[in-house]
Amino acid sequence: MRVIELVRRLGVTSDTVRFYTRIKVLKPVKNKINGYRDYSEEDYSRLRFVLSARQLGFSVGDIQEILDHADKKRSPCPTVRHLIDQRLNETEQRFLDTLQLRERMQQAVTEWSQKPDKVPTGHMICHLIEEFAQ
């Protein structure tokens, strides 16, 4: 099948297919007659897997590592479990960081609503931010 068929079947862009081809996740065969890349059902399955893994937060590097295990006929499951633990920990930390940022922003909104506007000087651009950061 050609790029356009993968695009239609999986609802992705042609750039997505080309990206995963370029990094060798997909391995189409070049048609000797017309030079087009022909993708197999295996390529379709691999790209479907990639899309599912991306929705779970796996990075492209993670996916390549998982596929490497599968390509070598080794179970990728232990690696998948380890990686999802890492991604979950990273997500939890980003979530906590986002909550802290939200609190700082809420505090800024409260404080700034009671402060006057000021014109910039040579030493100050916006006193709201500069005083808040101290």
Q: Are residues 71 and 85 in the same domain?
A: yes
Q: Are residues 2 and 47 in the same domain?
A: yes
Q: Are residues 89 and 126 in the same domain?
A: yes
Q: Are residues 75 and 121 in the same domain?
A: yes
Q: Are residues 14 and 73 in the same domain?
A: no
Q: Report pLDDT digits (tens) over 80-92.
A: 999 999 999 999 9
Which residue blocks in 36-76 are alpha helix, DSSP H?
Answer: 41-55, 60-71
Helix (H, G, I), strand (E, B) or coil at 37: strand
Work out how many domains the chain is built from and give that number: 2
Q: Is the pLDDT at 33 greater than 90, yes or no? A: no
What global pTM score does this model have?
A: 0.78
Q: What's the residue count for the chain?
A: 134
Q: Are residues 47 and 74 in the same domain?
A: no
- Sign, Cα dihedral of 16, 17, 21, 22: negative
Band (pLDDT 50/70/90 cuts) for residue 103 is very high
Q: Are residues 14 and 35 in the same domain?
A: yes
Once rounded to an integer, what is the mean pLDDT over residues 33-48?
92
Are the beta carbons of 91 and 57 closer than 8 angstroms? Answer: yes
From residue 133, alpha-carbon distances to 5, 76, 94, 105, 130 in Å are 53, 47, 21, 11, 5
Confidence (pLDDT) at 133: 67
Q: Are residues 67 and 133 in the same domain?
A: yes
- What is the domain-level CATH number for residue 37? 1.10.1660.10
Q: Are residues 49 and 112 in the same domain?
A: no
Of 39, 55, 71, which marks where a domain is finished?
55
Percent of the chain with pLDDT over 70: 99
Q: Are residues 65 and 22 in the same domain?
A: no
134 is in which domain, residue-wise? 59-134
